[in-house]
Amino acid sequence: MGIGKALAEECARRGMNLLLVALPGKELDELSATLRQRYQVEVHALGLDMLEKTASGQVYQWCVDRDFSVDKLINNIGVGGRSDFETCRVTDLEAMLTLNVQIATVLTQLFVELLKKQRRSYILNVGSAAGFFHIPHKAVYSATKAYLYSLTRSLRSELKPLGIHVALLAPGGAHNRQDPVVHRKVNGWLHRNIHHSTEHIARTALNGLLKGKRVIVPGTLPKIYIGLSGVFPPSWVDVVVDRLFKNTR
Ligand SMILES: NC(=O)c1ccc[n+]([C@@H]2O[C@H](COP(=O)([O-])OP(=O)(O)OC[C@H]3O[C@@H](n4cnc5c(N)ncnc54)[C@H](OP(=O)(O)O)[C@@H]3O)[C@@H](O)[C@H]2O)c1
């Protein structure tokens, strides 16, 4: 199960009604039906390829046309993976920039209008621990997540007077996707403590969001290494990250 699905389930478990957006298909319909039945909440789903040019506007219009009141926006959508910058396809780079950066930015801008109608509302941007580092073979991914971190911090202050609380979720790693090179180099205790179940990540995310946290990092070890990355000289941090992520043993 991905983090998006786990977040949807955690929200439903807490009795929240849901507006789900994902690629069209059986999986989205089945998830909606399951959550509706299991948790007795309202679930509305919009199947949409967010790479379509007008996608963010369509999501916003869908909510306006149906008069949905929205008190939380979760920007989970994002693609990752490992690739060599020199040889990766330009279309893949463009898709990553669109999904990881543009969609979260534009949706947030559009939804401020709806969120500010609530007494208190929330935006959760799903970043990554990768956003705190500079990672070879994940250069664009880590840069997109650093962008989300920066955007979150700035908007947290700017949108506060509107009663909108903005937070970043920065998971170290989830069980559903693991980097093959890191997986080869790190095992045992370290591996278990870097990666967490998506259910754990979703539970921690919702707890942190509702408590008003700024950056939510599930797990003790990711908290420690993100914290240390701000303490040690950048050149030291880069050496460790290089060793972990470079295509060598
Ligand atoms: N997994 C990790 O280890 C990890 C670690 C740190 C951060 N993150 C971040 O957490 C977020 C979720 O990651 P995940 O790996 O767990 O993935 P996920 O939630 O399983 O999948 C991403 C979501 O994006 C949707 N999506 C992808 N492309 C789309 C498109 N073109 N149009 C519409 N929807 C699209 C997917 O819809 P469908 O379900 O329809 O495919 C899915 O709901 C991402 O932002 C990721 O960068 C993940």
The predicted pLDDT at position 248 comes to 65
**CB distance 126 to ligand 1 below 6 Å:** yes
**CB distance 26 to ligand 1 below 6 Å:** no
Question: What is the percentage of the chain residues whose pLDDT exceeds 70?
Answer: 99
Instruction: Report residue 164: phi and psi, to 5°.
Output: -105, 120
State the average pLDDT for the chain: 94
Query: What is the DSSP annotation of 187-230?
Result: -HHHHHHH-B-HHHHHHHHHHHHHHT-SEE--SHHHHHHHHHHT
Q: Is the pLDDT confidence value at 249 over 70? A: no
How confident is the model over 38-72, as pLDDT tens digits? 999 999 999 999 999 999 999 999 999 999 999 99
Contact 230, 133 (CB under 8 A): no
**51 alpha carbon – ligand 1 mean position (Å):** 13
Residue nearest (by alpha carbon) to ligand 1 atom 37 = 22
**236 alpha carbon – ligand 1 mean position (Å):** 31
- pTM given for the model: 0.95
Residue of higher predicted confidence among 194 and 97: 97
Confidence category of residue 191, pLDDT binned at 50, 70, 90: confident
Mean pLDDT calculated for residue range 17-45: 97
How confident is the model over 65-116, as pLDDT tens digits? 999 999 999 999 999 988 999 999 999 999 999 999 999 999 999 999 999 9
Structure token pair of residue 129: 């621990």
Residue of higher predicted confidence among 246 and 164: 164
Residue nearest (by alpha carbon) to ligand 1 atom 39 = 22
**163 alpha carbon – ligand 1 mean position (Å):** 28
Q: Is the dihedral of CA 182, 245, 150, 59 positive or negative?
A: negative
Tell me which of 11, 76, 142, 201 to substitute to probe ligand 1's pocket, judged by most ligand atoms within 8 Å of the beta carbon: 76
- In sequence order, what are the beta bridge partners of 187? none
Contact 205, 169 (CB under 8 A): yes
Could you tell me what percentage of the chain is helix, strand and coil, using 3-state DSSP and rounding each to the nearest 5?
55, 10, 30
**CB distance 144 to ligand 1 below 6 Å:** no
Q: Is the pLDDT confidence value at 222 over 60? A: yes
DSSP 157: H
Mean pLDDT calculated for residue range 116-124: 97
Domains and CATH numbers, the chain: 50-245 (3.40.50.720)
Residues 158, 164: Cα–Cα separation, whole Å: 9
Vertex 41 angle, CA 37 and 31, to 5°:
55
**CB distance 4 to ligand 1 below 6 Å:** yes
Confidence category of residue 8, pLDDT binned at 50, 70, 90: very high
